[in-house]
Structure 1
Amino acid sequence: MITQAIVRKPCNAIIKALTTSDMGPPNYQAALSQHTAYIAALRDCGLDVIELPADESFPDSTFVEDVALLTPQCAILTRPGAPSRTEEVVTMAPVIQEYYESIEIIDAPGMLDAGDILLAEEHYYIGLSTRTNRSGAEQLINILARYGMTASIVCLDSVLHLKTGIGYLDNGDILTSGEFIDKPEFTAFHQIPLPEDEAAAANSLYINGTVLMPDGYPKAQAIIEAKGYPVKTIDISEFEKIDGGISCLSLRF
């Protein structure tokens, strides 16, 4: 059961965050408001939320998920693939040390964004992307193996991160979209394919019985609810402008 989450307040520099979208820069005040609502949603799901202050040195730093993988046995500090984000790990390390005794590190030349890591049925899937290379993935596989956990590599075609287009729920149910529909690595699960025009909703979180999903995807919401899952929607439209999704904004453990 997940009991805690770490989040970081968006900084003013968020308007300079990395993005592949053409939606324009985020509105800082609106992003703050949406982030506050996101925290409230995590608390509604029963999580104790650790709130970190904004860090103006790193425009993307509100996307805390990428800088660490928190497992039941250990924490792994990653090495983000975007050069402007590499040092975010340094600022997160002391926070992680408060909650974990066993901490591992991904070293150069490895690159690893935790947005490329999906836990499903106690197995970790690692996407090879522009932000995660084979060295980073193989280092992670070796680390997890030392703690009795398993992982495997998934090659990505077009999405930024693995979890951009896929999300694990519960009881073998997995949300899929785009290139992940019928992808061999995930055919053993009960796939819940989402419409192409609502593919972004695949980045949803199952937390203690509730699915947190982005607002604005009514078809996807109806599909998930029809499977028997309670759904809570959150407006993250300002973060979507900078390639952000529901999972990106927190570290959960």
Structure 2
Amino acid sequence: MAGPSSFGRYTHAIVRSVPDSLAAQPAGDGVEPVDLAKAHRQYGVYTGILRQKLGLQVIELAADEGLPRSVLVEDAAVIQADTALVTRPWEPARRGEVTRMKVLEELKMRVVEVTDDGATLDGSDVLFTGREFFVGISQWTNHRGAEAVADAFRDFAVSTVPVAGSSHLKSFCSMAGPDTIAIGSSEAAKKAMRTMEQLTDHHYDTLTVPDDPAGNCVYVRLGPKGSALLHRSPEEFPSSLPLFQKLADLTLIPAACSEVAKLGGALSSCSLLINKKLDR
């Protein structure tokens, strides 16, 4: 049986502003282009939630027009306690996002780099449960990338989970509490959940939501104030809201991210959360 949960209380969040070049990025088949004005509004609401409702110190990196997808900042690093593993994106065009994460060193974190040229790793494929890591083996992340996670975080078990299609692991699942996994209802999501259950020694409760994208939420401990769950807005996924409302002792905070979602992003994609007291 796994030991106590290592879910710390987050203190800081790293975000990156929306570049105008985001609007020129090709969306998925049949998906409307990114509405840049709407993307800016959603980003503003999101960062406002991090600051005002979650009480985090937000470190806002400037928009980088040469890296249009860099707003999906979660892909650039995997962070637990004082260790930050900078990743190695599958897309060569995105690797500049990693080299420009100098803020991690400025925050005096232990920064680990993926040194295997054959490895690919996106942070959106890495689910930390507070007890262990699950790494999605996907179009974006391979087994050698998962090995980099295991090398960087030796105090935790690291298991791999096959992910079909063009999704990341966290496209349809995330933590909705210290021992609760939110999971979508697609066959891909169900298969991934069965795999995680087979690989773990710990029992997790599951919250199954009808919409895969709603399975990506952000759980945050608020200390004496309790805990909060940042989830997709009911305007986007009304059928999933009643499921979240069944979670006890959580402050529910809705947020929309429809524009970055057109490029494969999710709520958790828009920030890197840090659970260590830092001097800055």
Fold conserved (TM > 0.5)?
yes
Aligned to 2:95: 86
Task: State whether residues 21 and 241 of structure 1, in contact with CA within 8 Å, keep that contact through their aligned partners in structure 2.
Answer: no
Task: State whether residues 25 and 241 of structure 1, in contact with CA within 8 Å, keep that contact through their aligned partners in structure 2.
Answer: yes
Alpha-carbon deviation of 1:180?
2.8
Aligned to 1:4: 12
1:251 to 272, 276, 279: 272
- Give CA deviations for 1:158-203 in whole Å, capped at 9, x if unaligned: 35100001111224211111223351313631111111xx221001
Q: Note the 1:160-171 alignment, pairs <5 A.
A: 160-171=167-178
Corresponding letter in the other structure for 2:34: P
Alpha-carbon deviation of 1:18?
5.5
Q: Secondary structure at the match of 2:50?
A: helix
Task: State whether residues 18 and 71 of structure 2, in contact with CA within 8 Å, keep that contact through their aligned partners in structure 1.
Answer: yes
In 1: Cα distance, 2:209 partner to 2:109 partner: 39
Aligned to 2:216: 203
Alpha-carbon deviation of 1:19?
4.0
Gaps of 5+ in 2: 1-8, 222-226, 275-280
Alpha-carbon deviation of 1:219?
2.1
Aligned to 1:128: 137
Correspondence 1:191 to 2:211: no
Corresponding letter in the other structure for 1:73: D
Aligned to 1:14: 22
Corresponding letter in the other structure for 1:189: Y
Correspondence 1:41 to 2:49: yes
Label 1:189 to 1:18 Cα distance change in 2 as closer, same or farther (>3 A): farther
Alpha-carbon deviation of 1:55?
0.1
Correspondence 1:242 to 2:263: yes
Alpha-carbon deviation of 1:21?
4.8
In 2: Cα distance, 1:101 partner to 1:234 partner: 29
Label 1:124 to 1:18 Cα distance change in 2 as closer, same or farther (>3 A): farther
Aligned to 1:175: 182
Task: State whether residues 127 and 155 of structure 1, in contact with CA within 8 Å, keep that contact through their aligned partners in structure 2.
Answer: yes
Corresponding letter in the other structure for 2:218: L
In 2: Cα distance, 1:212 partner to 1:103 partner: 27
Correspondence 1:213 to 2:221: no
In 1: Cα distance, 2:141 partner to 2:189 partner: 18
Task: State whether residues 129 and 178 of structure 2, in contact with CA within 8 Å, keep that contact through their aligned partners in structure 1.
Answer: no
- Give CA deviations for 1:83-103 in whole Å, capped at 9, x if unaligned: 2101111111x1110113411
In 1: Cα distance, 2:69 partner to 2:110 partner: 26
Q: RMSD value over aligned CA atoms?
A: 1.5
In 1: Cα distance, 2:246 partner to 2:109 partner: 41
TM-score, normalised with respect to structure 1: 0.93
Report how many residues are paired: 248
- Give CA deviations for 1:60-101 in whole Å, capped at 9, x if unaligned: 010000001111131111001112101111111x11101134
- Give CA deviations for 1:8-62 in whole Å, capped at 9, x if unaligned: 0010110233643532211112111110100011111111111111000111010
In 1: Cα distance, 2:79 partner to 2:30 partner: 32
Aligned to 2:103: 95
1:27 to 23, 32, 35: 35
In 1: Cα distance, 2:48 partner to 2:83 partner: 27
Q: Secondary structure at the match of 2:68?
A: coil
Task: State whether residues 75 and 100 of structure 1, in contact with CA within 8 Å, keep that contact through their aligned partners in structure 2.
Answer: no
2:122 to 98, 113, 138: 113
Q: Secondary structure at the match of 1:118?
A: strand
Task: State whether residues 125 and 135 of structure 2, in contact with CA within 8 Å, keep that contact through their aligned partners in structure 1.
Answer: yes
Task: State whether residues 82 and 109 of structure 2, in contact with CA within 8 Å, keep that contact through their aligned partners in structure 1.
Answer: no
Aligned to 2:165: 158
Alpha-carbon deviation of 1:220?
1.2
2:254 to 220, 233, 240: 233
Alpha-carbon deviation of 1:252?
0.3
In 2: Cα distance, 1:17 partner to 1:137 partner: 28
In 1: Cα distance, 2:28 partner to 2:137 partner: 18
Deviates more, 1:228-237 or 1:59-68: 228-237
Corresponding letter in the other structure for 1:52: L
- Give CA deviations for 1:196-250 in whole Å, capped at 9, x if unaligned: xx22100110112111111121221110111223211112111122111100000
